[in-house]
Chain A
Amino acid sequence: MKLRTVIFIIFAVLLFSGITKAQVSGYMGKRLMAKFDTYTNIYIPESFEISAHPFSIRKSAGIEYVAFRNVSVGASYYFCKSSFNSMDGVGTMNNKGISLGASVFSDDGLTPIGRFLRYEMIYYKSAYTIAIDDYNDMTAWAQNVKSIKTGDIGNVVFSLTFGQSAVLFDRVNLSYGFQLGYRLGYVIDNLSKPDGLSTPDQIKYDIHLRNMNHTLWGFHIGIGYLLF
């Protein structure tokens, strides 16, 4: 993520904090939290012969700020290494992304304690690498040549996490729950399904599918530290 984006997010958060009322107490007066979250997903592939790794653990590091009595807003940086299936084999992809989200604590909870529902919009950039079969039609016999393809593909995921959050030792925030996600545009992608060849469109489709799968659901465990 570019430094410019990080500065913008921090600026936006600080600006937001300025307009919220001081009487919002957060946890014992602490309203800003640094956090590290993980989302674990098990992907059950169509075939186990040649397949991407079934586990994916998405990790995110970010900050969260208590904006209202039962709402906190935050920004996170996501990163996750994974692999994807394609016609020619398994490719690797390195997902990096940013997210903006808001956690709404239920009526009986005061941020950051109790049951919460986190709405999050994540923008991923998947940098992929895959070795594809390249055929040379100029010769009388087709010659199978492997070539490495790389590229970046963007995904936007809307994520919903529901879970519980607690504070230990007046400083450490623990949260756990379950996450559901939907990669926006998935239905549109399926309307124009590529023909199965290793074209750039097919690779894009496979990466989108993999991203769809590993963001569809996940177990969430997070740890945070209340800064000030």
Chain B
Amino acid sequence: MKKSIFILSLIFVVLYSREITAQQIDLSHYTPLKSSGEMPEDISKHFFEIFQTRKDELKKAEPNLKGYSNEYALSSAYYLNQILKSGKLLFGDPLSKYVNTVADSLLRKHPDIRKSVRFYVIRVPIVNAFALDPGVILITTGLLAQIENEAQLAFILSHELVHIINKHSIDLYLTQQKLDKSKDDKGTSMIDSRIFKYHFRSREHESEADKLGVKMFLSGSPYDMNIINGIFDVLQFSHLPFDEKAGFIKSLETDFLHFPEKLILKDINPISMADDADDTLSTHPNIKNRRSYMNDYIKEFDNTGKKLFVQPADLFHKVRDLARFEVIHSQLLEHKYVEAAYNAYIMSEYIPNNPYLEKAFLRSIYGISKYKTHSLGSFLTSDYKKKEGYMHQAYYFFKNISKLEMNVLALRQAWLISKKYPDDVYLNTLCNDLVMDLKLQKIKLDDFQGIKGKLASDSVSTDTMTYPDSKYGRIKENSQKKKTVSKKFSDDKEYLAYALKDIVGDASFSKFFNSVKVVESQDDINISQNNIFKLKRLEIDTILVFNPYFIKLDERKKNTFRIMTSMEKETDITNKARNIADKLKMKTRFITSQNFSQGDVNQYNEFCLISDWLDEFYALNGNFSMPLYQYQYMKEIKNKYNTKYIDLIAFASIVRKKSFAEFMDLFVTSLIIIPIPYTLYMAFNPSYTSVYMNTLADLETGNILYSKRQFFNFNTRRDHVNIRLYDSFNTFRKTKK
């Protein structure tokens, strides 16, 4: 009996422990991180509840806020709510567990603080950390991907803890209010001097957080304090990839594929070492200042016996690798393909033959090829001149490579990877798409010279060698070359004829290439469906409605953004959409952040997956269609809800100040007796501009099947909302039979 209780307890401890081990992180089977375990109250609580609690707390505990407590509680609760429910937050995953373990070590002597502050990881590729009132610290995956040891993370956490404990956000808010009231300094220079004062106060907070973080937390923890220079290096070079390594372009070459010299940039921009940028308009002091005062400051503390790692170092490295995988994933979603390709290359140098990295690398170059095919390559490489280090070379390469070259390069890569992972249907789709793009450029399999098994240099017949250095020899040599070298490729792209040499000989490739049928682009169909005058239903059985959005702005008020009305209306719009869908007997599934109150983690993860999909969808911006990268992770959603259509609903309502022209119109109209009632009505009635947006898209391809953007000069009254939602849903649904 005792033994069984012991085993059960052990299982319980293993399952529910917040600790994590390196063995639990399996990078060879990486899929984007999901949250697990119990949903934290920060996410499950409804906005109104968060606001009410915060308001009551502030009234009691913050006499400084005086008349501002309501306004401050509202804005802080709103922004907290928006970030925590953005679908980017992780809980119960290996990264969050690790950060919490470090926080445990750091705050061993401060159990009360540990209890009151919550630490989360947010899936954002930028290098940053945030302290949000009241007591939430967010660490980005970008930061976890770049730090070098556990002590650096502990320093970041210490810094953010000071922001919370010293209530910097309240102080900054009050500073802003005070500056808004003071009008003395307004207009004394090109930039309002109040902005300088605000940033100065913010920099004071940052310096305080740097120093007090060490004094209050880091010095009493087991963590090494001599990591200051290292962490500032991380911040200074945060815009660079995970590492600086040559050979990225070489890694794309084979025995048969050598890129011309013109694609390889020799004179790359050096990495800027300047750390003393002008920080007068920055919220943070510049890196040089921070290094300087912190290096002096830490000398006051005893560093003996302190460690870089409290947890095993290999766990840290596994966590960092996982964060790096997440960053690559985010970069792919945001269509930052060059960064994703370079980072995947860097990571595959450390972790060779990793399936995710191979596929991510392929997806990056596939994405670049698609942009090039649609003549939109400049979208990806527009700011290449500003890039530094090897990233500059990578950008230069992808900027200058032609669409045909990129297409062939991507196809080569796609075929090799799909052969390696034959069960991956998504890879097969990419191959299919790339062959189709090639065929649309009138390229045939025969155009790849390598099918004959010879390189260009091998193709001169022995006959020409009879007189190698004579007029006749050269005539025959040139004639022979013309026969063997494809005319499809111009002289500067002649190398492409051999680019697929190692795969064109493969019968399965030839069979696959020939089997791909060219289908005209779906884009034309969609454009006609977008036409609002086209009176045709889309005949869709089921749709997913994702998080309807409402924003209310009032230009007449000091705080233009009306948070409470926006949040109330958002709930109202969701309910209205539900009712209308029911009325039309449509099968609709609503995935909204309002459902988090039920504490269903699966639903939260579905929300996150769709939120990621939206990143990619918005990055694509309806420019063209292609198999979306995120879709491969959404099969469960598609099967569960039996649809691949997603509907995005948004309303915006703006109460405008009456313009001078409008007042003049009213004045002139008031001179005429007859329309006086109308003039009076218009004089007292505010002016409105409202916008209704509804987009129905295909989850698989990002195709926009229906897009409506209507502007109307009325408030978003019940009837306006109802008629627009009904009209859209009515267009989607199946015709009754």
Interface residues of A (CB under 8 A from B): 21-25, 27-29, 69, 108-110, 113-115, 166-168, 170, 178, 217, 219
Contacts and interface: CB of A to CB of B under 8 A. Distances in A.
B674 A217 contact: yes
A108 B723 CA distance: 12
A109 B717 CA distance: 13
B724 A110 contact: yes
Given A23-B731, A108-B712, A114-B714, 10 more contacts: A24-B535, A27-B723, A29-B726, A29-B730, A69-B727, A108-B710, A108-B713, A166-B719, A167-B722, A217-B674
Contacts of B735: 22
B144 to A, nearest CB: 48
B677 A28 contact: no
Interface residues on B, range: 20 to 34
Given A217-B674, A219-B677, A167 B723 contact: yes
A129 to B, nearest CB: 31
Contact of A113 (B535, B723, B731): B723
A115 B727 CA distance: 18
8 contacts: A25-B730, A27-B723, A28-B722, A28-B723, A108-B711, A110-B727, A115-B713, A217-B674
Nearest to A168: B719
Contacts of B536: 21, 23
Contacts of B472: none
Contacts of B109: none
Interface of B: 532, 535-537, 580, 583-584, 674-675, 677-678, 710-714, 717, 719-720, 722-724, 726-727, 730-731, 735
Contact of B675 (A22, A29, A178): A178
Contacts of B719: 27, 113, 166-168, 170
B392 to A, nearest CB: 48
A178 B678 contact: yes
A114 B717 contact: no
Contacts, number: 55
Contacts of A115: 713
Given A29-B730, A166-B717, A219-B677, A110 B535 contact: no
A28 B583 contact: yes
Contacts of B726: 25, 27-29
Nearest to A174: B719
Contacts of A29: 583-584, 726, 730
Nearest to A173: B719
Contacts of B675: 178
Contacts of A23: 535-537, 730-731
A24 B723 CA distance: 11
Contacts of B532: 69
Contacts of A166: 717, 719
B716 to A, nearest CB: 12
A21 B723 contact: no
A175 to B, nearest CB: 12
Given A24-B535, A28-B583, A113 B720 contact: yes
Contacts of B678: 178
Contacts of B731: 23
A49 B537 CA distance: 65
Given A29-B730, A69-B727, A21 B713 contact: no
A82 to B, nearest CB: 19
Contact of A25 (B674, B710, B712, B727): B727
A114 B723 CA distance: 11
Contacts of B584: 29
A223 B206 CA distance: 63
A53 B678 CA distance: 25
B681 to A, nearest CB: 9
A117 B717 CA distance: 21
B727 A114 contact: no
Contacts of B727: 25, 69, 110
A108 B714 CA distance: 10
A108 B735 CA distance: 26
Nearest to A167: B719
Contact of B712 (A114, A167, A217): A114
Contacts of A110: 723-724, 727
Nearest to A24: B535
Contacts of A108: 710-713
A32 to B, nearest CB: 16
A174 B628 CA distance: 47
B376 to A, nearest CB: 31
Nearest to A108: B712
A23 B537 CA distance: 7
Nearest to A109: B712
Contact of A27 (B535, B677, B714, B722): B722
Contacts of A109: 712
B708 to A, nearest CB: 11
Contact of B722 (A21, A170, A178, A219): A170
A21 B537 CA distance: 10
Which 4 pairs, one residue from A and one from B, show the smallest C-beta to C-beta distance?
Answer: A108-B712, A21-B535, A167-B719, A25-B730
Contacts of B710: 108
Nearest to A110: B723
Nearest to A114: B712
A110 B149 CA distance: 61
Contacts of A27: 719, 722-723, 726
A200 B17 CA distance: 105
A109 B727 CA distance: 11
A110 B728 CA distance: 11
Nearest to B678: A178
Nearest to B735: A22
B58 to A, nearest CB: 40
A151 B727 CA distance: 50
